[in-house]
Structure 1
Amino acid sequence: MKKEQSIVQKFEALASEWELEVAGCSFVVEKYNHPAYQQIIEMGPAVIPLLLRELEIRPNHWFEALRAITGANTIQPEQRGRIKQMAQAWLNWGRERGYQWKAFN
């Protein structure tokens, strides 16, 4: 349980830093290249439920992190640029694979 808590705490700290520092940034590449975002990716599969939780609560650009960690590409061409639709595609992907993220709320 302690390891899970430390992963959640580290993720939340990095996610907060990333959101604060890229707020208002219109360049997606800058968002993806931010050091905090890259550190989240480096945390690996343990953060998949946390990323899904974030997408459900407040959709944001977590798509590249999920793609980098999972190797999956759930976004259809017609969904590109539509944050809510892109988020829903990943949430569906997570549910289909048995991920649970409500417990982290």
Structure 2
Amino acid sequence: MSEPVARFDSLAEEWERHCAEHRESSNPYVFLDHPSFDALVALGRPAVPLIIERYRDGSVFWGAALRRITGVTTFGDGVVGNLEANRQGWLKWWSENQAAWPG
């Protein structure tokens, strides 16, 4: 495993634990208020394919990270609204843009 992938995996697991610990929160933005989320976003464009892979099966707010990294706002903020529609929108976006993704 490459160093960037290992770093991403470590941060993603930390953030997913944070989300699981706060799953009962009535404030969805509490999920984004964590250093691991900020660090994931700071990984930038190279993290997008890795995020998409986790987003295929995961239920955490990956759409919020994708929005912050890509600047694509089509699917909302990734935290409120129809989260399944948000996820499906991002997966469709990736299938349409993956080949041209500069990474």
TM-score (norm 1): 0.78
Counterpart mapping for 1:41-52 below 5 A: 41-52=41-52
Counterpart mapping for 1:4-43 below 5 A: 5-23=2-20, 24-26=23-25, 27-43=27-43
Structure 2: how far apart are the matches of 1:19 and 1:25?
14
Letter in 2 for 1:9: A
Between structures 1 and 2, the one with greater helix share: 1
Counterpart mapping for 1:80-95 below 5 A: 80-95=80-95
SS at match of 1:75: coil
Q: Are the equivalent residues in 1 in contact too, given 2:67–2:73 (CA < 8 A)?
A: yes
Structure 2: how far apart are the matches of 1:72 and 1:31?
20
Corresponding residue of 1:61: 61
Q: How far apart are 1:11 and its partner, in Å? A: 0.8
Q: How far apart are 1:16 and its partner, in Å? A: 0.7
Structure 2: how far apart are the matches of 1:64 and 1:58?
13
Letter in 2 for 1:89: G
Q: Are the equivalent residues in 2 in contact too, given 1:56–1:91 (CA < 8 A)?
A: yes
TM-score (norm 2): 0.80
Letter in 2 for 1:21: H
Q: Are the equivalent residues in 2 in contact too, given 1:60–1:83 (CA < 8 A)?
A: no
Letter in 1 for 2:8: F
Taking only aligned residues, the RMSD between alpha carbons, in angstroms, comes to 1.7
Q: What stretches of structure 1 move > 3 A for 4+ residues in a row?
A: none
The total of aligned residue pairs comes to: 93
Letter in 2 for 1:17: E
Structure 1: where are the runs of 5+ without partners? 100-105
